Amino acid sequence: MKLHRAVWLVYAFGVVPVAVSAPQSAPTQRAITIDDLFQIREVSDPQITSDGQAVAYTVKSYSLRDDRTEERIWMVPTSGGEPTQMTSEGVSSSHPRWSPDGKFLAFLSERNEGKTQVWLLSRGGGEAQRLTDTPQDVDNFVWSPDSRRLALVLRDSTPEELEVATERKELRPDFSNQPETAPARTKKHKAQGPWVIDRLQTKADEVGYLDGRRTHLYVIEIASKCLTQVTSGDYDDSQPAWSPDGARLAFTSNRSADPDRNYNNDIWTVDAGNSDKGTHLTQITTNPGEDNSPAWSPDGQWIAYVTQIEPRLFEYATKHLGVSPAAGGAAKVLTLKLDRVTSDPHFSPDSKNIYFIADDDGTQNLCRVPVQGGEVSCPSAARQMLYAYSIASNGAIAAQISLMDRPDEVYFQAADTEPPTRRTHTNDALLSQLKLAQGEYIHFKSKDGTSVAGYLYKPIDYAAGKKYPTLLRPHGGPVWSYYAEFQAQAQLMAAHGYASLLPNPRGSTGYGQKFSQAIFADWGNKDYQDDMAIVKYAVEKGIADPDKLGVGGHSYGAISTDFIIVQTTQFKAAISDAGEALNISNYGHDQYQKDYETELGRPWENEAVWKKLSPFYRSTNITTPTLFMGGDSDWNVPILGGEQMYQALKSLGRVTELVVYPGEYHEFRTPSHMKDRYQRQLAWYGHYVKGDATLATPPATSREAGGGDE
C-alpha cells in the first residue's frame, strides 16, 4: 500500500458530522504563509507518569535557516501550568518513557555523533546519563515493572559497526554479551562493495536494500548495564511488552518458514531472564493474519493485541481488537460488530476494560471494551484526531489531539468520563496571528448512489455566491483517510484563494471493511467516481469554479491523480507527487512485491489486470499540464513512476515538468526541500488554474538538472 502521512498532519475522527469554524478573526490576523508552516511545532508522544501528576512529550521544530529539524522533550503538570524543557537544544531526543517508580525519564538520542542510544534523566533534574553503549542504534525500549531493567529492540550489528565501535573503545571487554552481528552472507563490504541478497523482500523505504540482519530483543540491567539477548533467529522481533511480574516479555514476530511470503505476525512470549536467546518461546496467537501491538493486563491474565483475520485482504481488512489468555489458549475478537480499524490497545488499571483508538467517520477517538466482550463505548467521542495516549495507574489519561483549527497538543483527563482539557499551548502565539480557513465535514452521493464523505475548506476570504478556484486532493493509502485535524496544506491553499476538497472515497478507512475493500484490485474506478463526486458537489453548491479546477496528491493520492487525468480533461492543472503509473516496472523495484502478488497476482500470470491498473497506458488521453515530483531515495513509491509519466507526456508534446529531490525518502526530511515543494505547487496551480501571469516554475527555486553546480 502506498501509505502516506503528510508533514504537519495528525489523524482524527468523530461521530456526528458538523462544521468546524476557525476562531473569530481579529483585525490583526493575517493569511498563513509557507514560512508559517515551518513555525508550527509538532507535539507528539504524550507519556503520563504512573502517579498521573505530569506528562512528558516531544516537540519537533523546523529550521529553514539551518535546514534541519530538531526534536526535544518537554514536561507539563497535569494540573496545568508552564511546561518544562527536559532536553537541551542542539540535539534531537525522542521516545520519552517514565520508569514505573517515577524516578527517571528514559529517552532515545543520538549524541556526540554516535549511534542512537538510551539516556536516563532524573525526574528531579540534572544532566542526562547514557545508559546503553551498543555498536548499532537502539530502535525501541520498554521499562520493566520494577524499574530495574529495560527491554531493547536492536537490529543485528554489521561487522563495520563492530569495527568502528572497537576502534573507539566503545565495546566492553566481554564481547559475549554484545549484540550479535549479521550472518556472513549478508556482509556489506567496505569501499561501496555489493549488497548480497538472497531473501524475497529486497528493499524498504528509509532502509534501502535488505540484508540478513534482523531485529531481536535484549534486556539490560540498569545498575550493572549487563546486556542479555533474549530472542534470535532469522526473524524480526519487535513491540516488546513486559508481564506485570517482570518475568516474561510478549512481542510480535513472523516466525513462519519464510516471513517475506505472508502477513502472519503472531504474539509470542519469552522468559526475560534466560540467556538462551529465545530457544523456548510460547506462541500466544495462531491467527494466519497479522497480530501486533501486544499489551499485558495488570493482573497478568490477558494479552490484548490488534488483529487482522482476513490476510488475503491485508491492509484492506479491518484491524480488530483481540485478546488471548496470557498462558495461551482460545483468542477472542472483541470488535467485530464495530467494524472499524482499531489500534494502540491498553488495559484499564483494574484489568476489566481495554482501551483502544478507533478510526471512525473521518475521526479518531479513544474507546473501550470489556475484556470479556460486550458493547464498545467511546466516552469522549468528538470530531477530532486523537493520535496517541497513555494511562496512569490511577486511570488518568494523557492524549495527543489535533482539531481542524489547531495542530496537535497534549490533553488530560482525570477520568474517561470527563472531557479532555488542553494542557499545552505550543502554537498559540503563532495561531493568534493567523486567519484560518473554515473547514466542513460534508456528505455527498457518488455516481452509483453510494454515500461518501470528506472535508471541504473554503478560502479565507470566502463570500457566498462567489465561485473560487478549487483543488481536489486525493489522499494516500489507498487504505487511509482524511481526518478532523489541522490540515496545513489546505490552510495554505485557502490563504491563496483556493477551496480544497479532501474526499474519503471507497478504499478509505473509517467506514467499514466493505467500503475499504471496494477498490481491491480495482484502483481508479470507484474511488475515481467518488473523487469526482465531491467536485460535482462543490460546483453545484456554487463554491467551485468549474473552469478553474486543479488536482494533486502524494503517494496513492498521486496514483489517483494519474487515474483522474487519464479519464477527464476537467482539470486545468495536476501535480503527481511520488506516484506510480506503470505497475509492472515497480514489481521487484519497490517494497511492495508481497502486496502486488496478493492483490493483483503475479504479473506474468495476470497481465490483463496489471495493465488495466496502470494509467501509463492511457497517457495519450492526458492534456492536463502535469507536474511530477518525488525523492530520489524513495523505495516506497520510487521516482521511477514520475519519470515514466513525465517521459510519456514529454514525448507526446504535452505540458509537463519533473522535479526530483536528492536524498529524500517517501516522507521528506529537509526543510528547504519541503519549502521548495510548496512554492512549486503554488506556482503551478497559480499559472494553470488561476491563469496568473507568473511563471509555472518559480525562478527563485528553479534548478535545472543539467545546470551543474551552483
Give the pLDDT band of residue 279 (cuts 50, 70, 90).
confident
At residue 8, does pLDDT exceed 80? no
pLDDT at 3 exceeding the cut of 60: no
Indicate the range of 17-21, 51-55, 232-236, 557-561 predicted with least confidence.
Answer: 17-21
392 touches 384 (CB < 8 A)? no
Measured between alpha carbons, how far apart are the two ends of the chain, in Å?
Answer: 38
CA distance 405 to 424: 15
pLDDT digits (tens, 9 = 90+) for 103-157: 999 999 998 768 999 999 998 778 899 999 999 999 999 999 999 999 999 999 9
What is the architecture, at CATH level 2, of domain 435-690? 3-Layer(aba) Sandwich (3.40)
Cα dihedral across residues 116, 118, 120, 121: positive or negative = positive
Q: Which residues pair with 242 in a beta bridge?
A: 249
Confidence of residue 90 (pLDDT cuts 50, 70, 90): confident
Q: How far apart are CA 24 and CA 173, in angstroms?
A: 65
Cell numbers representing residue 631 in the block: 525523492
Query: All 3 cell numbers of residue 384?
Result: 477530532
pLDDT cut 70: percent of the chain above it: 91
The residues with which 154 forms a beta bridge, in sequence order, are 138, 216
As given in the structure block, the three cell numbers for residue 244 are 506485570
- From residue 481, give the alpha-carbon distance in Å to each of 51, 282, 545: 36, 37, 25
Average pLDDT, integer, range 253-282: 92
How many whole angstroms separate alpha carbon 480 and alpha carbon 483? Answer: 9
pLDDT at residue 239 tops 70: yes
Mean pLDDT of 409-434: 95
Q: Is the pLDDT of residue 10 over 70?
A: no
CB atoms within 10 A of CB 175: 9
What is the residue-averaged pLDDT of the chain?
Answer: 91
| Gap between the Cα atoms of 53 and 171, Å rounded | 39
pLDDT at 187 > cutoff 90: no
pLDDT (0 to 100) of residue 700: 61
Q: 700, 710, 669, 636: which is closest to 205 by C-alpha?
A: 636
CA gap 185, 457 in Å, rounded: 54
All cell numbers assigned to 311: 490476510
Count of beta carbons in the 10 Å neighbourhood of residue 109: 22
Q: Residue 6: pLDDT above 80?
A: no
Confidence of residue 179 (pLDDT cuts 50, 70, 90): low
Backbone φ and ψ for 117, nearest 5 degrees, come out as -130, 170
Say what the pLDDT of residue 164 is: 80
Predicted local confidence at residue 481, as pLDDT: 98
- For the stretch 338-397, pLDDT in tens is 999 999 999 999 999 999 999 999 999 999 999 999 999 998 889 999 999 999 999 999
**Which residues face 657 on adjacent strands?**
627
What is the pTM (predicted TM-score) of this model? 0.91
218: helix, strand or coil: strand
pLDDT value for 233: 93
SS3 annotation, 603-624: CCCCHHHHHHCCHHHHHHHCCC
Segment 471-495 shows an average pLDDT of 97
pLDDT band at residue 7 under the 50/70/90 scheme: very low
pLDDT value of residue 704: 44
**What pLDDT sits at residue 176?**
41
Residue 143 φ/ψ, nearest 5 degrees: -70, 145
Residues 260, 201: contact at Cβ < 8 Å?
A: yes
Specify the 3-state DSSP secondary structure of 174. Answer: coil
Q: What percent of the chain has pLDDT over 90?
A: 83
